Amino acid sequence: MVVTLKNIGTLHEASFDLDKDLIVFIGPNNTGKTYASYCLYGLDLHDQPPELRLPSDISSQIIPDLVELFATGEIVLVKESILNETNLALLYQYWGDEFKKRLPNLFNLNENDFLNSEISFQLPNYDIKTEFKSAWLVSDINIEVRENNVKVRINKKVLENLLQIESNQVKVKSLIIHFIFEQHVYFGHYYFIPAERIGISIFARDIFRNRFTKTNEILKDAKLNGTEKVDMMLKEFNTYSTIIQDSLEQYSDLTRTSTTFFSDPEIRKLADELEAKILKGKIATNSEGEVFFNISDKKEIKIQASGSIIKSLAMLVLYLRYNAQPKQTVIIDEPEINLHPDNQRLVARILAKLSKLGVKVIVSTHSDYFIRELNNLIMLNKDHPETLAMREKYEYEETEVLDHNRVGAYLFKNHTATAIEVTAAGMEAATIDEEINKLNNASNDIYWTLFEE
């Protein structure tokens, strides 16, 4: 699916193919990369239950009649009557309109800043009528998508309760639509690792402690009525964009799940690899939400006192260890922050592995080392008699080699993003290459003029 953004912050226009496994944003500062990343994060609608995500007029237009279901507890719907391009376009239009309403909170800016903003979706280029077959059970409602039809069954006791409230019937329609269109309209769970992650790792506990104290002060103020207290708390706490707010909360949640692993076991191994190869120690947490860096079993350092590389990678380690699952999307702003070139290359390889384990990875980078390492991983996928020898020579693994067809790259320049061709030889980062060439030419000229007679 292709998402197009227009007139959002410094970004005039950009289109992104979200069907890729690994997506790279490249370009000078202040050209819209962060705005684009924030917008893609905003596609995550998991703050709203699926049965509440569609208004009655939309759900009724897609599924006009469920009389038989509510009369007998079972109905068989013609798949093509629901799963078609007309209905998909209707949902895309609705979600585009709804997304625009989210922009002020997403960026913590005024509504007037987004009057001319737009988001649109391009229909997938495959046959959606026969894309998938599966079954789903939620709240005693069973939805089974077959080759040519969709069968829905409701437990009789549940059915009696549903019939008593008309709005529940609308929720059932939305649940059916949500499941059938899940691959095409609902975008999965997003996790954002911002450039501000070092500050988050240092101050997250203090920020939440201060908020708790301030909340108590407001609630105990007898001079304020209920509405005034709510207004004061909103004013006090809505000082950050949704991205930073969510990143603070996600980091805080991860630091308190030190005995519970929700992540995929194979993905979890990447956290261990990152610690072993880059950090040379372990990230640990306690029940109080404190984060430590353990160099050995006997030496434990609070993260606030650790090196910048520890603070820079702590969020990624915790995410991989406790939360990462296939079908999620992780967005990382400048993964190279505070990393020496050798470690930038290693992070690129770990993120390549992550993308092959089912987590969509979106990165914004200024690092030539990061991009060139991705290009190596792409080139090592070539069907060639010497490919295996090259992998062994430079110690690359099969699990990190990339198919160029699954990689997307975009150049941000003059406040517009354009797709960069990714071939079997990789991608070209024009703006970075240009600057490297300028620097090399200047250095050579200075040296040969001043030091060689």
Q: Do 334 and 195 contact (CB within 8 A), yes or no?
A: yes
The whole-number pLDDT of residue 286 equals: 83
Beta-sheet pairing, 291-294 with 141-145 = unpaired
Residue entry with tokens 């026969």: 130
The whole-number pLDDT of residue 131 equals: 44
Q: Do 40 and 3 contact (CB within 8 A), yes or no?
A: yes
Q: What is the DSSP string of 266-331?
A: HHHHHHHHHIIIIISSEEEE-TT--EEEESSSS-EEEGGGS-HHHHHHHHHHHHHHHT--TT-EEE
Report in angstroms the alpha-carbon separations of 89 from 48, 111, 120, 254. Answer: 21, 26, 10, 37
Phi, psi of 423 (to 5 degrees): -110, -175
Which class for 149: exposed (0-12), middle (13-18), buried (19 or more C-beta within 10 A)?
middle
- Using DSSP, how many helices (H) and how many strands (E) does the chain show? 16, 16
| pTM summary value | 0.85
What is the widest separation between alpha-carbon atoms in the chain? 97
Residue 4's SS3 state is strand
Structure tokens at 427: 């991608």
Angle in degrees, CA 32, 97, 248, rounded to 5: 55
Which residue type does 184 have?
H
Series of mean pLDDT values for 10-residue runs along the chain (453 residues): 92 94 94 93 64 71 81 83 82 84 88 92 58 50 78 74 62 76 66 91 72 56 65 62 84 74 87 95 85 81 90 94 92 96 97 96 96 97 96 96 97 94 92 90 94 79
The whole-number pLDDT of residue 241 equals: 79
Q: What is the DSSP string of 169-217?
A: HHHHHHHHHHHHTTTTT----EEEE-TTHHHHHHHHHHHHHHHHHHHHH
The whole-number pLDDT of residue 426 equals: 96
The whole-number pLDDT of residue 295 equals: 84
The whole-number pLDDT of residue 390 equals: 97
**Sheet order of strands, 291-294 included:** 282-285, 291-294, 300-302
The whole-number pLDDT of residue 164 equals: 56
Which residue type does 215 have?
T
Task: Please tell me what DSSP assigns to residue 43.
Answer: T
Give the contacts of 404 (CB within 8 A, at least 6 positions apart): 378, 381, 422, 423, 424, 426
Which class for 86: exposed (0-12), middle (13-18), buried (19 or more C-beta within 10 A)?
exposed
What is the rounded CA–CA span in Å between residue 119 and residue 121? Answer: 7
Structure tokens at 417: 């993003």
Q: What number of other Cβ atoms are within 10 A of residue 272's Cβ?
A: 13
Q: Which has the closest alpha carbon to 105: 113, 95, 97, 94?
A: 113
The whole-number pLDDT of residue 130 equals: 45
Q: What number of other Cβ atoms are within 10 A of residue 232's Cβ?
A: 17
Structure tokens at 405: 């067809």
Which residue type does 61 have?
Q
Sequence spans of domains, the chain: 21-28+330-439, 50-93+117-180, 197-324
The whole-number pLDDT of residue 58 equals: 83
